[in-house]
Amino acid sequence: MNPMNQRHQKRVKPWMVLVGGFSLVKLMGAFVPPPQAVPVRCPPRLGARGIGHVVGSCIMAAPAYASDTSGRDFQQFVDDVGRNRDFFISVASAAFAFGQLVAAFKASPEGKIQEALAKTMEPFEPSRPQDEVIQRPVMETLRQRIASWQQHATIIGGRYQSGKSVATEEALRGVRGVVRFTIRSADWADRMCKQLGVDDEGLFKEVMRRVPEKLKDFPNNLTKFPILLLEVPRTTTEGINLISSTAKDVATDKIGSAIHVIVSASSAAVALAFDAGGTERQEDIWVADLTEEEAKEFLALHGHEKNWKDFVDACGFRIGDLAKACENLKKGISLNDTKQEYRRFATAEAVGFMELQVHPKLNGRQMSQELLKVYPEGMPEVFNSIRILPRELAALIRNKSCHAVYFHPIKKRFFFASTLHKEAAEAQLANP
């Protein structure tokens, strides 16, 4: 070995690697003529490790040559590059070819599966910071369901804006193995696959199949199964049947391949549209309005701990209504104006519901009359020899956007959506 090279190799330090890489590329561009389609012939056994060793050696050598400020070493480096131009061109070509191999792998089905799996294993991050969320008992119910899950889908139901999404996300905070998707159209399954970075449902299922093995690296994770969280907005009317069939298909007890499907429905009507094969094949969890203590805590977060009762009197205990009232107040809209806005909205929904043909022998107006008779206990599915099918009624309510009445899947009864809806029905029925 040349004594000069020996002297400079001793001077190579770890920090020189990055500087050397830049120096090598820059000097080659300045002093080496562009290659003319030089073929790269690597030995069959060279592989990625061999290429990496060659490239690494070049990078390590460059700063050694360039470290002498006298300029002699710099000139020596230029001369060496000129004499070994073909070698450096081959190394650069090999590195480029290796980069193409890496890119090809990422674009392959296996590469997409691994990238999607890495995304899935990241801790779940809710949309709201934890200090902006009040802890509710239903969140612990959800955590217990997730931790003990073995089979069947989980349906999160409740009134519109009762806090279902927040409760579900908070229960999943930090959990690994979760895929979240919002359903807005009939082709949601294809869109979900593309969002995750895979081409089709087959690759999606393969990602989910591998999750349990990856979760073994996180023994403290809340669940050992993959979770598919499907959020269904109130305006969604297409693709509901596919959600049901998907849950039937994947939320089974097949060890090693089961997926815990959690459906967070924006309204009670949307929740009823979901059917994973009957009540025996799904678990319904209801997110109710806030309790008085929860309402106090929530309003305290918004700086209204002293006048919380004014908000409740104006809006009731639905968390979405209280949140909007707080925002309106910041905009200069009084609580009374907010209440009048809610009242107008409730009236429109009550009128819309009365126009429905709930059953061949019963219309919405007649059902509203019956609901007033049994308020607040609610009305059963069968009364006066008439059976009202909750799922069919829910479809009518969704399509006409008249959510004045909802069906509670656990209590098995119909209720007015709120006190304002009940009062709006009374006012309409008072006018023949």
Residues 58-111: tens digit of each pLDDT: 544 444 544 444 455 555 655 665 666 666 566 666 666 667 766 777 778 899
CA-CA distance, 4 to 14, in Å (whole number)? 20
Residue 243 pLDDT class (50, 70, 90 cuts): confident
For domain 119-287, the question of CATH label 1.10.3470 is answered with no
Specify the 3-state DSSP secondary structure of 386.
strand
Tally of residues, the chain: 432
Q: What is the mean pLDDT of residues 148-175?
A: 92
How large a percentage of the chain has pLDDT more than 70? 70
Residue ranges matching CATH 3.40.50 in the chain: 119-287
Is residue 119's pLDDT more than 70? yes
Is residue 183's pLDDT more than 80? yes
Is residue 306's pLDDT more than 90? yes
Burial class of residue 184 (count of CB atoms within 10 Å of its CB; 0-12, 13-18, 19+): middle
Q: What is the mean pLDDT of residues 115-120?
A: 95
Is residue 193's pLDDT more than 80? yes
Which region among 81-90, 141-150, 278-287 has the lowest average model confidence (pLDDT)? 81-90
Is residue 153's pLDDT more than 60? yes
Please check whether residue 425 is in contact with residue 375, taking contact to mean a CB–CB distance below 8 angstroms: no
Predicted confidence at residue 56, as pLDDT, reads 52
Predicted confidence at residue 267, as pLDDT, reads 73
Residue 266 pLDDT class (50, 70, 90 cuts): confident
Burial class of residue 30 (count of CB atoms within 10 Å of its CB; 0-12, 13-18, 19+): exposed
424/14: higher pLDDT: 424
CA-CA distance, 206 to 116, in Å (whole number)? 10
Predicted confidence at residue 46, as pLDDT, reads 44
DSSP letter string over 189-248? HHHHHHHHT-SSHHHHHHHHHHHHHHHTT-TTSS-SS-EEEEEE-TT--SSHHHHHHHHH
CA-CA distance, 150 to 266, in Å (whole number)? 25
pTM, entire model: 0.72
DSSP letter string over 406-431? EEETTTTEEEESSHHHHHHHHHHHT-
Q: Given the structure tokens 């098995």, which residue do they identify?
A: 412
Which region among 51-65, 114-128, 149-163, 167-181 has the lowest average model confidence (pLDDT)? 51-65
Which region among 19-33, 305-319, 362-376 has the lowest average model confidence (pLDDT)? 19-33
Q: Given the structure tokens 């999404």, which residue do they identify?
A: 165
Is residue 237's pLDDT more than 70? no
Q: Given the structure tokens 């070509």, which residue do they identify?
A: 93
Is residue 233's pLDDT more than 60? yes
CA-CA distance, 90 to 348, in Å (whole number)? 75
Which region among 192-196, 240-244, 352-356 has the lowest average model confidence (pLDDT)? 240-244
Predicted confidence at residue 254, as pLDDT, reads 55
CA-CA distance, 192 to 224, in Å (whole number)? 22
* Strands 413-416, 405-408: pairing kind: antiparallel
Token pair recorded at residue 268: 């009670």
Is residue 41's pLDDT more than 70? no
Is residue 292's pLDDT more than 70? yes
CB neighbourhood size of 76 (10 A):
17
Residues 6+ apart with CB under 8 A from 295: 308, 311, 312, 317, 322
